[in-house]
Structure 1
Amino acid sequence: MLKSPVRTGAVIDGFAVGDCVHAGGMATLWSVTHPDIDRPLLMKIPRVAEGEDPAAIVSFEMEQLILPKLSGSHVPACFGVGDFAHQAYVVIERIAGETLYKRLPELPLPYEEARGLVAGIATALADLHKQHVIHHDIKPSSIMFRPAGEVVLIDYGLSCHRRLPDLLQEEFRVPYGTAPYMAPERLTGLRNDPRSDLFSLGVLLYFFTTGVRPFGESETLRSMQRRLWRDPYPPRQLKADYPPWLQEIVLRCLEIEPKRRYPTAAQLAFDLSHPDQVRLTARAHKVKRDSIMTVWQRRLNRGLAPPEPAADVAAQIASSPIVAVAIDIAEGTEELNGALRLAAARILATLPAARLACVNVLKLGRVTVDRSLDEHGNSKHIDRMVQLRHWASPLKLDADRLTVHVLEAIDPASAILEFAGVNQVDHILIGARQDSILRTLLGSVSAKVASEANCTVTVVRPPRLAAPSEVRSGEAAS
């Protein structure tokens, strides 16, 4: 590595070094430019000096491995890496704005604002996990926002890419991370479960809505180990007006055992986007921590539990998809809706962690004035929600696996596509009715959905016409 320090005016592999914009404990950030890249850039350079923690060097190596593999709007674009033999660096895009850390003086945030904020972070995490990466350092200073509002996750020095060597796991036995946000299983050396990031996000949601961190500020390993058996104070004990649906989400994220948390970040984002449909359990109404007896049982049984097998991030996500079934209540035939139910049952039978979203579009007129009540004075919207639940009742799903949604739109196909994109739907089931002259001229809803969706689409016909057929229109929506 070069002995001379990096300084303003130096040129490294074609990158002209400008001002130092940040000097952290493990690395420095410099503004740089390149004649072939027309956008603001940052060069991250590790600190290498006598007495520096060797984990900082390994952490930087992990960033060099992971960043070039990432893509999409939720991660910083990478434009180059430098070899340790000459000058180690990573060049990434410079994102305008500040990190979420700058908002700490405003805490606690209003519940609705915090809900939307964390839903965006969960969406970014879902995209990251689909790229086989577990972040392992979700905290306010690792989160930024693009001008259009998309969340950007930064700082991948502690991350784990399930298709690359995990250098931190191979070379060290001490868990590295930010203590207040670290998941319990991280303290036992487990780094292969994406649900660890959901725990960290639960800590952030708890903190941003109460103004208090659920496990305090302690940095000692001994105090951190208590979260292996001790649950946090329920938010409702701190704030009497805390919404039950929000406490349900927060405490589910903060479950000690990963298998009791949300299976995927996409499902967490879904609940945050639809708080009115969050299934309330005993978590939602807790006002005290678990009893001492329960805590001691956890502590005594921890050594008896067999270790969980290594998880494959992609396999875990694939086993927990969000499936949307578009049901035509107004004109759909009993045979077609029965065929849709059968197709849904077959999918759900093989994927016990899947979530089903039943969707119906209440079609609006282009020029007419639409009425929200029918001729009997009943709400059309509520009536259709009831019918959707009736359609799904034979599936006998647990309440936390089923939601119903009535969308109001002029164009049903566009409404379904938008719903699928916003809610990171992995698979759409939609019925195709018999052909008609009008449908031939204008095109069918199912055809448009199948051709334009960014996820798997299964078009289902009544049994007398054809068997269900699957149409692949792209990879799962991010």
Structure 2
Amino acid sequence: MTEGPVLPRSIQGFEVGQVLHEGGMAVLMSVTRPGDDLPMLMKVPRLREGEDPAAIVSFEMEQMIMPRLSGPHVPRFIALGGFEAEPFIVMERIQGAPLSVRLRDLPLPAEEVAHIGAAVADALDALHHQHVVHLDVKPANILFREDGTAVLVDYGLAHHEQLPDLMAEEFRLPYGTTPYMAPEQALGIRNDPRSDIFSLGALMYQLATADLPFGEPQHLKGVKRRLWRDPVPPRRRRSNIPPWLQEAILRCLEVDPDARYPTAAQLAFDLRHPEEVSLTHRAGKMRRDGFLTVMRRRLRQRDPQHRAFATARQVQAAPILAVALDFGEMSEELAEALRNQMQKMLGSRPGARLACLNVLKSNLLSIDTTLDDQGRNRHVQRLVELRHWARPLGLPEARVTFHVLEGADAADAILGYARANRVDHLVLGARASSLQRRLLGSVSGKVAAEAPCSVTVVRRRGPE
């Protein structure tokens, strides 16, 4: 076990106990609170030197999503702490073990695979009704209550239909667990609930055969093979798997989401009523698809980039506004002028979203450090400054997001964000006149000249 972050014994009224788990992006600890008998755990993001910025962004997503979830299939949300002090999420601690402990017993009998699959499908159906796609369905993220109810945990990679998708906006590569990732996820599409059905199909395949349907690819190229290459049929690996279970599993694993179960509820029904399963050619398959079928799939493959980050309907319903802030060059007067500009634009566009941007410049020739001179995480400090600047705007959480971009050239980073996220209007402040600006050109000038959208440059009042 790697060394975790050094934490105080008490955080905002919660007494910190044992470290329960250390993952790639966060640490889980048991906590208690005087007068509260509910078993609780605290999740804290990793903020040490060299940590992946995705850990911070995914934690922000989880902080946004968890308070909106309810019901027996999710841990009860209790409290959270912002990045201004000690970031954390406190939630109910589910007493049951994760499904991953059963992996040592594989393969499982068909009836048990169906029982587990139906319970997880129930949880997915409840989640999808709350406008959330989980996008990381795997054994470690599934727990069971004492009555057998499945509970889905870890919402750092999830997509909420009514919230900004920070993971999609800030990172070009897809995040997820590759053995269970749906084909469309590998292409950057994160808003289809049927992606979770695909992941559950991969999980049931593993439970029934003791093998993963697509192996454990280490690179994106390997993940994308599932866009055209089908898995070995489960009954080829284990002849005692009944046709109805193979039918259900392979239907979940269809490349085209339209060919999968339309809802998790329908999948749960089939798993609970095997005699009602309508058998197709999938039930009797004993070999993978032939060369010609695979080649046809490869040739039909379409570029999905036009719908990877926002659908046309979303763009038309609410324009995306972005403001780029340079705290090193920005006076309080310019900060206020930028706020006034955004208030005017937001006031005339009640459905608009605002993205607040800051660029953390990286070095081309030297090794970057993620900590400042005081040992604080630079990425987190910039997030705090962005939130402080935007607070007077009084925008609800669903209308404003905060993004710390990284790049050697600030203008290129801003332009890349605007292009990737289809920003409709970009606002930024002009620097005061300086020798550097005259010799090298201004960030605002380059952005205004090359941006794929409208640009407003705000200058501070008075002589420069």
The two structures have a TM-score, normalised by structure 2, of 0.64
Q: CA deviation at 1:97?
A: 2.2
Quick one: which amino acid aligns to residue 141 of structure 1? A
Q: In the aligned structure 2, how far is the partner of 1:108 from the partner of 1:239?
A: 9
Find the counterpart in structure 1 of residue 68 from structure 2: 69
Find the counterpart in structure 1 of residue 167 from structure 2: 168
Maintained 8 Å contact 1:43/1:92: yes
Q: In the aligned structure 1, how far is the partner of 2:258 from the partner of 2:236?
A: 25
Q: Output aligned runs, 1:217-236, within 5 Å.
A: 217-236=216-235
Q: In the aligned structure 2, how far is the partner of 1:303 from the partner of 1:147?
A: 45
Q: In the aligned structure 2, how far is the partner of 1:271 from the partner of 1:5?
A: 46
Quick one: which amino acid aligns to residue 67 of structure 1? M
Maintained 8 Å contact 1:193/1:311: no
Q: In the aligned structure 2, how far is the partner of 1:180 from the partner of 1:268?
A: 20
Q: Output aligned runs, 1:40-439, within 5 Å.
A: 40-303=39-302, 310=311
Q: CA deviation at 1:220?
A: 1.4
Residues 28 and 257 of structure 1: is their aligned pair in 2 closer, same or farther, counting only changes over 3 Å?
same
SS in 1 for 2:154: coil
CA shift digits 1:182-215 (9 cap, x unpaired): 0000111100100000000000000000111000
Q: In the aligned structure 2, how far is the partner of 1:172 from the partner of 1:305?
A: 16
Q: In the aligned structure 1, how far is the partner of 2:168 from the partner of 2:212?
A: 27
CA shift digits 1:15-53 (9 cap, x unpaired): 111222222221111111112422111010001011100
Residues 123 and 311 of structure 1: is their aligned pair in 2 closer, same or farther, counting only changes over 3 Å?
farther
Residues 274 and 37 of structure 1: is their aligned pair in 2 closer, same or farther, counting only changes over 3 Å?
same
Q: In the aligned structure 2, how far is the partner of 1:26 from the partner of 1:304?
A: 31
Q: CA deviation at 1:307?
A: 6.4
Q: In the aligned structure 2, how far is the partner of 1:195 from the partner of 1:310?
A: 16
Maintained 8 Å contact 2:187/2:305: no
Q: CA deviation at 1:105?
A: 0.7
Find the counterpart in structure 1 of residue 7 from structure 2: 7
Maintained 8 Å contact 1:192/1:311: no
Q: In the aligned structure 2, how far is the partner of 1:264 from the partner of 1:110?
A: 25
Find the counterpart in structure 2 of residue 28 from structure 1: 27
- Gaps spanning 5+ residues in structure 1: where? 313-478
CA shift digits 1:374-414 (9 cap, x unpaired): xxxxxxxxxxxxxxxxxxxxxxxxxxxxxxxxxxxxxxxxx
Q: In the aligned structure 1, how far is the partner of 2:186 from the partner of 2:5?
A: 36
Relative contact order (C-alpha < 8 Å, sep 6+): which is higher? 2
Q: In the aligned structure 1, how far is the partner of 2:190 from the partner of 2:305?
A: 16
- Gaps spanning 5+ residues in structure 2: where? 314-464
CA shift digits 1:50-99 (9 cap, x unpaired): 11000011011111011111000000001001010101000011111210
Residues 189 and 202 of structure 1: is their aligned pair in 2 closer, same or farther, counting only changes over 3 Å?
same
Q: CA deviation at 1:174?
A: 0.4
Residues 244 and 310 of structure 1: is their aligned pair in 2 closer, same or farther, counting only changes over 3 Å?
farther
Q: In the aligned structure 2, how far is the partner of 1:209 from the partner of 1:251?
A: 12
Maintained 8 Å contact 1:192/1:310: no
Q: Give the aligned CA root-mean-square deviation in angstroms.
A: 2.0
Maintained 8 Å contact 2:195/2:257: yes
Q: In the aligned structure 2, how far is the partner of 1:305 from the partner of 1:5?
A: 40
Quick one: which amino acid aligns to residue 7 of structure 1? L
SS in 2 for 1:25: coil
The two structures have a TM-score, normalised by structure 1, of 0.62
Q: CA deviation at 1:303?
A: 2.9
Quick one: which amino acid aligns to residue 150 of structure 1? T
Q: How many percent identity over aligned positions?
A: 57
Q: CA deviation at 1:119?
A: 0.4
SS in 1 for 2:167: helix
Total equivalences in the alignment: 309
CA shift digits 1:110-160 (9 cap, x unpaired): 110111111000001000000001000000000001111111100111001
Find the counterpart in structure 1 of residue 335 from structure 2: none
